[in-house]
Amino acid sequence: MTQKDIGTATGQKEQGAPAGGQGTGSVNQEKTFTQEELNTAVESRLAKEREKYVDYDVLKGKAEKYDAQEESQKSEIQKLTDRLTAAEAQVAAEGKRRQEASWRSEIRKEKGIPEDMDALLSGSTKEEIEAKAAIIAENLPKATRPVIKTETGNPGSDEGVDEKKAPYKKLLSQITTEPGGG
């Protein structure tokens, strides 16, 4: 950079000055800077800018610590959220299991299915359980009136029935003989 360029770079306008930087007569003289003066001005300006950011490293360290703490809190929040979600799912599953057990018990009693066959009544809806209960109920042996042989071996006759057994005979005759009836 020439002295003319340096003077122009500082904002001074050249007005008819000769190339040597010296003018004669009424021409305004342009201020020129030496390289040393320019370096001093630039260094001074850089020092002022550096002063603005003197505590940059301190602030950067604090920001990093804050980010790390926020991240660790986020992790704790995420852990708690995951635990809550798992607990809610467990509660929902237990509620569903209890509802299904209630339906099985109700339907089993309605259809006359023995309690030990409760495990066969599977399904996730009441309709599914009812459908399986209907199939099971159809295939269960029909309950009938028990046949009691008298001493003569002839059921239904009064032959050979002693007086102690007569009330029982009368009671048995009142029981219906329809399948599944009570």
Count, residues in the chain: 182
Q: What does the block give as tokens for 130?
A: 């009812």
More confident residue, 154 or 61: 61
More confident residue, 91 or 157: 91
CA pair distance 15, 29, nearest whole angstrom: 8
Lowest mean pLDDT among 37-41, 48-52, 92-96: 48-52
Lowest mean pLDDT among 16-30, 37-51, 84-98, 161-175: 16-30
More confident residue, 130 or 173: 130
Burial tier of 12 (Cβ tally within 10 Å: 0-12, 13-18, 19+): middle
Mean pLDDT across the chain, nearest whole number?
A: 76
pLDDT of residue 146: 44
Structural contact between residues 148 and 155, judged by C-beta atoms closer than 8 angstroms: yes
Q: Is the dihedral of CA 44, 49, 55, 60 positive or negative?
A: negative
CA pair distance 49, 54, nearest whole angstrom: 9
- Mean pLDDT of the region 75-87: 90
pLDDT tops 70 at residue 8: no
DSSP structural state of residue 141: P
- Mean pLDDT of the region 64-92: 90
Q: What percent of the chain has pLDDT over 70?
A: 62
Helix or strand holding residue 173 (H, E): helix 166-174
CA pair distance 1, 15, nearest whole angstrom: 19
pLDDT tops 80 at residue 128: yes
Q: What does the block give as tokens for 129?
A: 């359980």
